[in-house]
Chain A
Amino acid sequence: MLDDFFIRALIAGFGIALVTGPLGCFVVWRRLSYFGDTLAHSAVLGVSLGLFLAINITAAVFFVALMISILLIFLQKSGGLASDALLGLLSHSSLALGLVAIAFMSWVRIDLQALLFGDILSVSKFDVGIVWIGGLGVLSVLLFIWRQLFAATVNEELAHAEGMNPDRANMIFMVLMALIIAISMKIVGVLLITALLIIPAATARRIASSPEQMAVLSSFIGIVAVGGGLFSSLTWDTPSGPSIVVMALVLFVLTLFPVVRLLRSRQEG
């Protein structure tokens, strides 16, 4: 079964959606979508580094994303530029540096479109393994720090005052973000990873009435979007990443219709 490229892409995509659901909820709650974008863009730099050093691309992307988030914390603490300007600086310069570096490496041929928008044809059995092992790892760590991270999300000082460790929870969260970007890059593509974090969570928000419910729904919506997106990608030969995102958007728009609102009010009442 795994010999079929489409099945492989589907299974890997489901694994990614499972994790981006709850992780994306935190991205939305903490208003970190631009941060997610920045990490995703830095993946291009990671790919070029991986190619240059001839090491595992996923590991290189993870490493660079982690470096970028540490650099961001350092620059934020040292003052100067506002956070959004810093993010813009890091985001676009790492993207540009990566693209320039790839252009310099004349000995490698790289499908830029696949890198930016995802490519289901290229998903190997190894990739499926990485996605599921990495994804389950991310998910279990997230479950483990859930209370701490959630308390820090609601109010950092309150969490701190009552004996929690929000700084550690935030650091772990950053590592998880870097990991998920590294493992989902191949399927969704660098430019659209953040969409898979945000759109399912935003869709789930319209239906959910508790944070935990929102996280689970978000995973489910992500899985539907991946399934639908990959099928349309196969049917109409569209790039996989954008197809998944369009599918997620369709689901989001559906929740804007009055029927869903009616459902929700009944649930609350």
Chain B
Amino acid sequence: MSDQNPLVSLKNAGVCRDGRWLVRGVDLSIAHSEIVTLIGPNGSGKSTTAKMVLDIIQPDEGSRKNRTDLHVGYVPQRIEVDWTLPLTVERFMSITVNLSAKEIDANLELTSVLHLKKAEIRNLSGGELQRVLLARAIARKPNLLVLDEPVQGVDFSGEILLYELIGEIRDELQCGILLISHDLHVVMAATDRVICLNGHVCCQGTPSAVAESMEYKHLFGERALGALAVYQHAHDHQHLPDGTVLHADGSITEHCHPEDGHHHDHENQEEKPNA
């Protein structure tokens, strides 16, 4: 891994809004050809972190760096197109970059939605829209692809297919991929690194293959083996429903930030990817 020169990196980055830290102390880097999965419950700062990576919001503390040749393709969680806007899939493909008719067809073909070329965006189903969004992002030939909960609203077999597709895209474009997921336990198998957020980086590590766990094997079936993996969390603390934090030593504190005086067990971080 070319960690010396990552595409984007955040160092101790945090975002503060109205006196509240949405997320804090995030260290994250994405290199060429690397897949990083960002997981965490709702409101844990996943989207905020992704927006820092994308330079949509600037960190209030810490810093962000990117390579000068960074070229982003972004797959937002969803887009809402008003009835008043006549927007076909074909036209949507080239909203941020000029594409030839051939390029449009080729990329729609790649995500198997070429037959929807003349369809209006607002009439697509959730799964179709995801594939169109993905086709549009990769048509830009990005070296960093950011996907915000791409499997949300997609059924289980669709999820496996989508993960397989993302893996293929990585192999073909050799781009770095940042994947945001709300699923805390099941992640894409090809993921090089999982980062678990809850207002800060709770833990990070590599996923273990589904095959190693018989339980999941039964649960997911053969097809899932290649695409999905299980992530074991290694937290030394627990986030309680009322927002307080229960630590391994039994103490309860108001917040859970690096500055609050507790330290994480980062042993997982050193693990090498299985693949």
Interface residues of A (CB under 8 A from B): 28-29, 31, 147, 150-151, 153-155, 157-164, 201-202, 205, 208-211, 213-214, 268
Contacts and interface: CB of A to CB of B under 8 A. Distances in A.
B83 to A, nearest CB: 8
B72 A163 contact: yes
Contact of B87 (A28, A161, A211, A268): A211
A161 B95 contact: no
Nearest to A198: B84
A158 B77 CA distance: 10
A31 B83 CA distance: 11
Contacts, number: 68
B84 A202 contact: yes
A157 B85 contact: no
Contacts of A214: 86
Contacts of B86: 205, 208-211, 213-214
Interface residues on B, range: 20 to 34
Nearest to A148: B96
B95 A151 contact: yes
Contacts of B79: 154-155, 158
Nearest to A163: B72
A158 B91 contact: no
B88 A209 contact: yes
Interface of B: 51, 54-56, 71-74, 76, 79, 81-82, 84-88, 91-92, 95-97, 118, 140, 146
Given A162-B140, A164-B96, A205-B86, A210 B76 contact: no
Nearest to B80: A155
8 contacts: A29-B84, A154-B92, A158-B74, A160-B55, A160-B56, A201-B84, A202-B84, A210-B88
Most chain A CB neighbours (cut-off 10 Å) among B79, B82, B97: B82
B180 to A, nearest CB: 13
Nearest to A204: B86
Nearest to A164: B96
B85 A154 contact: yes
A120 to B, nearest CB: 31
Contacts of B71: 163
Main secondary structure of the interface of A (DSSP, over half): helix
A161 B147 CA distance: 12
A202 to B, nearest CB: 7
A252 to B, nearest CB: 13
B10 to A, nearest CB: 15
Contacts of B76: 155, 157-158
Given A202-B84, A210-B87, 7 more contacts: A154-B95, A157-B56, A158-B79, A159-B95, A162-B74, A162-B140, A163-B96
Nearest to A27: B84
A151 B81 CA distance: 12
Most chain A CB neighbours (cut-off 10 Å) among B54, B71, B95, B140: B95
Contacts of B56: 157, 160-161
A1 to B, nearest CB: 38
Contacts of B54: 157, 160-161
A28 B92 contact: no
A157 B97 CA distance: 15
